[in-house]
Amino acid sequence: MPMLCGGSSDIKDADEKVQKICDTVKQKVEEKAGKTYDVFTAKSYTQQLVAGTNYFIKVHVGGDDHVHIRVYEKLPCHGGELELSDMQHSKTQQDPIGYF
């Protein structure tokens, strides 16, 4: 079923596209967190169509630690850039991804 504008998709396993999004914003995530991550692997995500796309991504950052990041992808007609919108620290593999 197609995703409705403003609605969130089901949670999906991260794929190559989502990992590339994570790779693109990793430096911004590290700046916001005030630390560097040796591991930065996208695990799962959900997305929300707005005037662009919000990606809510669970990222493994080493050990049992995860962060959740929200990345906004602008529409191609507006340049298609990626922006780190927000992040949540101290997450685990079991913590559900939700809107934040």
Q: How far is Cα 61 from Cα 41, in angstroms, rounded to an integer?
A: 7
pTM for this model (two decimals):
0.89
Give Cβ neighbours of residue 44 (< 8 Å, ≥ 6 apart): 11, 12, 13, 14, 57, 58, 97
Closest CA to 66 of 90, 99, 83: 90
Q: Where are the domains of the chain?
A: 12-91
Q: Which fold, 12-91? A: Nuclear Transport Factor 2; Chain: A, (3.10.450)
**Tens of pLDDT, residues 71-84:** 999 998 888 899 99
**Tens of pLDDT, residues 23-65:** 999 999 999 999 999 999 999 999 998 889 999 999 999 999 9
Residue pointed to by tokens 């995500």: 45
